[in-house]
Amino acid sequence: MFSKSTEYALRATIYIAQKSSEEHKVGLAEISAAIDSPPSFTAKILQALRKDNKIIRSVPGPNGGFYITEKAKNLPVHAILKVMGEDDVLNKCVLGLDKCSEAKPCPMHSEYKFIKAQLLELFDRKTILDLENDIKTGEVFIKNSRKK
């Protein structure tokens, strides 16, 4: 559904939410190990998220790293998707028509719109904090198995 970049962004943000605070930051190496993502590439993605200045923050130097404020944890997953430029993915027509709309629908539109609405609702409702809490229950995970 989403690009690799976005997948890493989501997993990394959840991990940072889970493990960091303003006092205790997490480093790139730990993050990419925890979510099993390529470190250098993850760095680029975290840079992008950081520049947005809304979701994650970072500090260089010893004991530096990434963190996320309690306030930012209340942001919906949709905020991450927006930064990663996935907004259009969710609004796109199944058949790829630019002008597909309620007024000029494609043959899939009338049925797909209800499903799309649920997707949008889910990503708007679910916050970073929600996902972090799910992890803490231990019933849920964000680490990929190492590829062979």
Partner DNA sequence: TCAAAAAAAGATATGGGACTCCTTAATGGG
Partner DNA sequence: CCCATTAAGGAGTCCCATATCTTTTTTTGA
Residues 6+ apart with CB under 8 A from 141: 135
Range in contact with DNA (rule: CB under 7 A) among 52-60, 72-80, 106-114, 123-131? 52-60
Q: Please count the residues of this chain forming the interface with DNA, following the rule CB under 7 A.
A: 29
Instruction: Return the one option of its own copies, DNA, none that residue 138 interacts with (CB less than 5 to 8 A, by type).
Output: none
> Is 57 or 73 the residue whose CB approaches DNA more closely?
57
Say if CB 113 and CB 57 are below 8 A apart: no
> Is 4 or 53 the residue whose CB approaches its own copies more closely?
4
CB atoms within 10 A of CB 112: 16
44 is an interface residue for its own copies by CB under 8 A: no
Residues 6+ apart with CB under 8 A from 95: 106, 107, 108
Looking at 23, 98, 138, 148, which residue binds its own copies (CB under 8 A)? 98
71 is an interface residue for its own copies by CB under 8 A: no
Instruction: Return the one option of DNA, its own copies, none that residue 91 interacts with (CB less than 5 to 8 A, by type).
Output: none
Instruction: Return the one option of DNA, its own copies, none that residue 33 interacts with (CB less than 5 to 8 A, by type).
Output: none
CA distance 23 to 69: 10
Handedness of CA 125, 37, 41, 39 (dihedral sign): positive
144 is an interface residue for its own copies by CB under 8 A: yes
CA distance 97 to 108: 11
Instruction: Return the one option of DNA, its own copies, none that residue 28 interacts with (CB less than 5 to 8 A, by type).
Output: DNA
Residues 6+ apart with CB under 8 A from 16: 26, 31, 56, 66, 67, 68
Where in 82-111 is the site for DNA (CB under 7 A)?
A: none
